[in-house]
Every structure is written in C-alpha cells, then in structure tokens.
Amino acid sequence: MPLWRLEPSAVKVARWVLRETALGNKCRPPDKGERIQVVSKTGDSLAYTEESDHVHPILTKHGRKMDQAIIKVDDNVYLGYGFGLDTPVMIEGTDGIIIVDPGESVEMAQSVKEQFRQITDKPVKAIIYSHNHIDHISGVRAWVTDEEVASGEVKIIA
C-alpha cells in the first residue's frame, strides 16, 4: 500500500494524536479500550521543568509531568512524549514514514529521531506541520535536508 493511502483507522488515530497530544491529555485511543503502549522510557522531561521568568508557570508545571517516552498509539503510529513541549508523531507506511510536528529544535528532534530509528529505519517521505507555531516546526532539519525537499523526495504538508 502506498504511504499516501493510509487505512482509515490510521488516519483516525493520527487525528486523535494531533488533537489529544496538543492538549497534553493522557487518554485512551478512540474505539480501542486498551491503554496506549509505552515502547520505551528514555529519561526525564526535556520540556520546561525549571521555573523561569521566560516560561509561564502553567507550562513549567505541565513539563514536570512529561517523562520522556516513545508511545505506540496504534499499529505503525508512535509519538515522542516529554522530549520538549512538542510531541512529534511517526506514522510508518510500507515504504517510508511521515513525521507530524518534527520538533521545537534540531537538538530535540534529533533525540526523538534516535528513538524512532530504533523502531524503523525507513526513509522520511513527508513532514506534516499541524500548525505554524515555532515549537512544532523548528526541528525539521533533523529529519530532512533542503535538497530532499527541493527534489520532491520529501513532501512538506502544512
């Protein structure tokens, strides 16, 4: 099956991931009943966990709850949780992967990429930006090069 023809259930789960992780909720995937599966725990949260004049206290409190983990949401759908404020998602297709919201920085995205690469080494076929906030788009260069995008090898969907 081509990467662009995802099963309806995969699309449904991808939409759920975007909706629920954007709110920082921990809940059950739709129509499943079982809890999501933690594939690996990699350390403490790298989100804003220290009080700062530059970060709202609500974000600091939220960041303290986010231990790093790779979570399997459904077959071939994973998210990197607690690596920063953004929650990158990897959707694995038959011939490549789609990355949703690649990360808030190249360094953060590289950390998530190392964990996702333990699951699959398939090439990146597309990057999806759920929206244009800087913490959701700035890690893209950890995943793709300008040349890959210019040649059409990797699609950017925004």
Give the whole-angstrom CA distance, residue 78 versus residue 59.
Answer: 23
* pLDDT for residue 14 is more than 60: no
CA–CA separation, 126 vs 130, rounded Å?
Answer: 13
For residue 43, the number of C-alpha atoms closer than 13 Å in the C-beta half-sphere is: 8
Buried b (16+ CB within 10 A) or exposed e, 58-74: eeeebbeebebbbbebb
Residue 125 has phi, psi (to 5 degrees) of -105, -25
Domain residue spans of the chain: 8-39+70-157
Task: Look up residue 55 and give its DSSP letter.
Answer: B
At 149, give phi and psi (nearest 5°): -75, -45
d(CA 117, CA 97): 11
Mean pLDDT of 41-64: 60
Q: What is the pLDDT of residue 86?
A: 80
Average pLDDT over residues 4-19: 52
pLDDT of residue 11: 52
Dist CA 87 CA 113 (whole Å): 12
Confidence bin at 118 (pLDDT 50/70/90):
very high
Q: What is the pLDDT of residue 1?
A: 38
SS3 1: coil
Average pLDDT score, the chain = 73
Residue 73 · residue 39 · CB < 8 Å? no
